[in-house]
Amino acid sequence: MSVLGLKMPALRLNGLLGALILGSVVLIAIFGPLLVSGDPMALDFAARLKGPMSGHPLGGDEFGRDVMLRLIHGARTSIWIAFFTTCFAVAGGLAIGILAGFLRGWVDRVLMMFNDALLAFPGLLLALGFMAVFGASRQGIIIALGLAYMPVVVRVVRGTVLSLREREFVEASRVMGNSELTTMFRHILPNCLAPVTVLATTMFGWVILAESALSFLGLGVPPPEPSWGNMLSTARPYAGQAPHLIFLPGLCISVTLLGVNMFGDAVRDWLDPKMQG
């Protein structure tokens, strides 16, 4: 069975399209800077706030830096951050959520108390607080956003675990003589993956946007290094003179999100055993 061996042709098409979009964005992020030579920081005042022109196919920004080069290099930053943040939040959330849901009792209570306290803050505000601790760097952003989004994953995972625990196949595993740990890894964890995947793909999108919001506040990827987010935010004062400076990074973010969501839906269906004929 192929990876995208889904039952309904409409879904398969969506999944393929999503994979195609996401794949090309990732490829550009990895290999783009190697294939297209040029320095994204190089200034060319002749191209300042200009639209497409010879030498600068997508025009220049407020300092006359090449927009295409900056988008390609920015893809690397944005995808990198989104990917690792999501992985971090999902891994942490899975561990805490399963622990809390499966062990119940005081472990659950203490973990959930912290978790609910974190959930009470808006994600971005929380990230700002963490940024103050970890500093404005890629790693800092990843940790801060990861911690900020983790409580949502914890909630989803714990809820799923709580409902799974009551299912008879989990009880059957206990009667069989499996230890709690075996039951957890063999029967509970795999059944949590479907809802978490959906959440992860949505989160991928949130993170790209959150990173741009942080950049807007001056806490994101420090300039002059480009990311889609900080390109979008620094372009704001020039929206009237050079709309392409807002439009192009915005388009990149939207198209990537579209791809991520389509791909996520397909992965969800693929992970659902009921969809396999």
Q: Which is nearer to other proteins, 254 or 276 (CB)?
A: 276
For residue 83, what is the enclosing H or E element? helix 67-103
For residue 199, what is the enclosing H or E element? helix 189-216
Rg over alpha carbons for the chain, rounded to the nearest Å, is: 22
The Cα 62–Cα 234 span in angstroms is 9
Task: Scan for tokens 């409580």, then name that residue.
Answer: 151
CB of 106 to other proteins, least distance (A): 13
Q: Which is nearer to other proteins, 178 or 223 (CB)?
A: 178
The Cα 188–Cα 165 span in angstroms is 8
Q: Rounded to 5 degrees, what angle do the CA atoms 26, 258, 242 make?
A: 85
Site for other proteins in 189-248 (CB under 8 A): 190-191
How many angstroms separate the Cα of 232 from the Cα of each of 17, 71, 74, 216, 255? 26, 10, 11, 8, 15
Q: Which is nearer to other proteins, 198 or 255 (CB)?
A: 198
Residues forming beta bridges with residue 53, ordered by sequence position: 56
CB of 127 to other proteins, least distance (A): 32
First to last CA, the chain: 11
Site size toward other proteins (CB under 8 A) is 19
Q: Which is nearer to other proteins, 2 or 37 (CB)?
A: 2
- Which amino acid would we find at residue 151? P
Q: Which is nearer to other proteins, 39 or 180 (CB)?
A: 180
CB of 162 to other proteins, least distance (A): 13
Task: Scan for tokens 């990311």, then name that residue.
Answer: 227
**C-beta of residue 146 within 8 angstroms of C-beta of residue 127:** no
Query: Which x/- pattern, by CB under 8 A, does the window 19-58 give for other proteins?
Result: ----------------------------------------
Q: Which is nearer to other proteins, 34 or 176 (CB)?
A: 176
User: Using CB under 8 A, which of 10, 106, 125, 274 touches other proteins?
Assistant: 274
CB of 266 to other proteins, least distance (A): 18
CB of 270 to other proteins, least distance (A): 12
Q: Which is nearer to other proteins, 174 or 236 (CB)?
A: 174
CB of 159 to other proteins, least distance (A): 17
Applying CB under 8 A, does 137 fall inside the site for other proteins? no
Query: Which x/- pattern, by CB under 8 A, does the window 159-198 give for other proteins?
Result: --------xxx-xxxxxxxx-------xx--xx-------
Find, among 183, 213, 215, 235, the residue nearest to 63 by Cα. 235
Helix, strand or coil, per DSSP, at residue 66 = strand
CB of 274 to other proteins, least distance (A): 5
Q: Which is nearer to other proteins, 167 or 236 (CB)?
A: 167
Q: Could you tell me which residues come within 8 angstroms of residue 258 by beta carbon, excluding any fewer than 6 positions away?
A: 18, 21
Residues of this chain that interact with other proteins (CB under 8 A) are 167-169, 171-178, 186-187, 190-191, 273-274, 276-277
